[in-house]
Amino acid sequence: MNAVSWALVVAVVLVLVWATVLCVARVRRLDRLHVRTDAARAGLEAALERRAGAALAVAAVLESEGGRADRLRAAVAGTHSARSPAGDLEAAENVLGRALAAVERSVLPVAVLEELVDAEQLVILARRVHNDAVRDTLGLRSRRLVRWLHLAGTAPLPAYFEIADADAGVTITAPSAAPDLRIIAPADVRSGVRRSRIER
């Protein structure tokens, strides 16, 4: 075997080693991303469940108002039933979000209001973490090498979770003792996270 043949063999071996190392690295990264996405989904579902619990607490406070309490309970029941494979969880969570947005929060006890606000903010953050994980996973799975060699295996494609965040202007703290102060939470367009500010 002459020098050219040896050089060709070495080059082929180096290419195979490089391709193997690259594939192994991609598979490991895919595995980490899928684990991250699964964990983010579990966190999102826990946040949605907490918001449902807060909604039931609000419904208990509004018991005397009848219709509003019944709508909240029905919306919560809808989110639970929508967790089945055939259910539309996004639509059901949007129904619950609209029902909560219609609640006059100034009548809620401080503890109930704080729990509701915390639950709503947690949903916003958990949804962002989940969608970021989905974006990164889909981005890697769209690479040609991953698609051509089926490096993702049989793992299902993750999906974004899109629901409307709580409307701007919803009170997020207990009403101030001063009659001329009103605390509101405008939407931060860049991050989707609400920040409290005081308007006189």
pLDDT at 184 over 90: no
pLDDT at 30 over 80: yes
Which is higher by pLDDT, 198 or 133?
Answer: 133
DSSP, collapsed to helix, strand or coil, labels residue 197 as: strand
Amino acid at 177: A
Give the pLDDT of residue 1. Answer: 63
Give the tens place of pLDDT for each residue, 121-177: 999 999 999 999 999 999 999 988 888 878 887 888 999 999 988 754 444 433 333
Confidence of residue 111 (pLDDT cuts 50, 70, 90): very high
Beta carbons of 99 and 55 less than 8 angstroms apart: yes
Lowest mean pLDDT among 16-25, 65-74, 112-121, 161-170: 161-170
Closest by alpha carbon to 183, among 194, 192, 191, 57?
194
User: How high does pLDDT run on average in the chain?
Assistant: 81
Give the pLDDT of residue 167. Answer: 57
Confidence of residue 85 (pLDDT cuts 50, 70, 90): confident
d(CA 48, CA 69): 19
Give the pLDDT of residue 183. Answer: 34
Lowest mean pLDDT among 93-97, 139-143, 153-157, 185-189: 185-189
Tokens representing 107 are: 């009548």
Place of tokens 């990264």: 29
Q: Measure CA 79 to chain center.
A: 15
Give the pLDDT of residue 109. Answer: 93
Q: Any residues with CB less than 8 A from the CB of 138 and at least 6 apart, and which?
A: 157, 158
